Amino acid sequence: MSTSTDTSALLDAITVAPEHGRAVPDAASGETIGYVREQTAADLDRAIDRARAAQPGWAGLGHEERARLLHLAADEVDAHAEELALIIAREQGKPLNGPGARFEAGGCAVWIRSAADTVLETEVLFEAEGTRSELHYVPLGVVAAIGPWNWPALIAIWQIAPALRMGNTVVAKPSEYTPLSVLAVVELMNRHLPADVLQVVTGGREVGAAIAAHPGVDKVMFTGSTKTGREIVKGSANNLARLTLELGGNDPGIVLPGSDAKAIAEGLFWGAFINTGQTCAALKRLYVHDSVYEDVVDELSKIAASMQLGPGTSEDSQLGPLSNRQQFDIVTRLVEDARARGARIVTGGEAAPELGAHFYRATIVADIDDGAPLVDEEQFGPVVPVIRYTDVEDAITRANSSEQGLGASVWGDPVEARRVAERIDSGTVWINQHGTLNPMVAFGGVKGSGYGLEFGAHGLKAVAAPKVITI
């Protein structure tokens, strides 16, 4: 059953006539949803100039007034949450229900309000007779926000909301795969923000490459691949723009001996398969102790086989398509390589062409080991490899072997899991859960997963310049 809620008013506000733009397809059907302008580096220049001109006035409003306007923007997003969710479901492919498009649309308002309400106190660094040194946080200027295609609206808000709260203006550059979701949430916010405080530039690689080196940009926030993150670091060398880089991860999970496979199976499954596995902090490789290995594989395969696969706009879908052909091809290659190596495809392991071009069945792969590309690379799709181990020390070493370190999880007795968690090289380690995020809890990676923190007070500090005043 498909939803019938109309999105035409919001779409009309963010799209252009076919002769003036590039077609954006529905991830499930390939049908054109709308057209967006294919902007250029010259358009970026103009947007940054307008943002620089608007920034002093926006900063001058003060925290209280900026927070009030952000609350109005959040209310507007809430009022149009169903329209926004439908755009996300069509363009990106995630199902409306569960941890899907409605969850993403609602999360946008939650994160806007959190950024508006988070208290950032002045810090007294030193105080003695006749002297007091205080640490304040002041706006940087213009923040460039470069987002990915997997959670397009929500991750854009993770970048935009704290930057605006701290008095910066923002120029957002969405993925060329999912520009409509970002245009839609920005359109809703801009109904309450001053002109040019928040802008979107839609375009391809030319625009993205021009951002990091742009002399008018004071901060770049980027979520995407490690490869592109390295290029952004190089590009920022001349203008010394500050950076927050969330570069994805090949997140490990470790199931300890004695764990109850049935009790943890659902948490493991959704830790890996949220958004059809297309999540930076999803569980990407699962190390399971030999004593519970077959039980965990069996429970996961039962859940995977029961999942309803279908278009995002169907109320019945639990998993959707891969968002684009490039990602579908990556997932197919990795599973076929695992099959050729003799790995056991417990369930799934094949496309579902009867549903559309980018659909792939939920796949559990057993009897595979480190060194296989499915384990060593970030698959970013509906597949999880389950790797057997016999010694916890060995599992920790293997979990830490990746160049990436965004998230990880440990499953089992909480006391023992805590000891293991302290030894895993990741920005976040969850215990008996995976991938849960909180707008007040700092989030960021280590190693090849980037640097800088988002969310809460740490996220506000990341989009501001520290300033010491000594009296």
Active site residues: 246, 280
3-state secondary structure of 414: helix
Residue whose pair of structure tokens reads 């990915």 in the numeric block: 148
CA 428, CA 409: separation in Å to the nearest integer?
A: 8
Pairing between strand 198-200 and 169-173?
Answer: parallel
Pairing between strand 407-411 and 251-255?
Answer: parallel
CA 272, CA 158: separation in Å to the nearest integer?
A: 22
Q: Which amino acid is at 406?
A: L
Residue whose pair of structure tokens reads 């090849």 in the numeric block: 448
CA 420, CA 409: separation in Å to the nearest integer?
A: 9
Distances (CA, A) of 386 to 49, 201, 278, 307, 334: 51, 41, 18, 19, 14
Buried b (16+ CB within 10 A) or exposed e, 432-470: bebbbbebeebbbbebbbbbbbbbbbbbbbbbbbeeeee
Distances (CA, A) of 164 to 63, 69, 113, 161, 202: 10, 10, 12, 5, 20
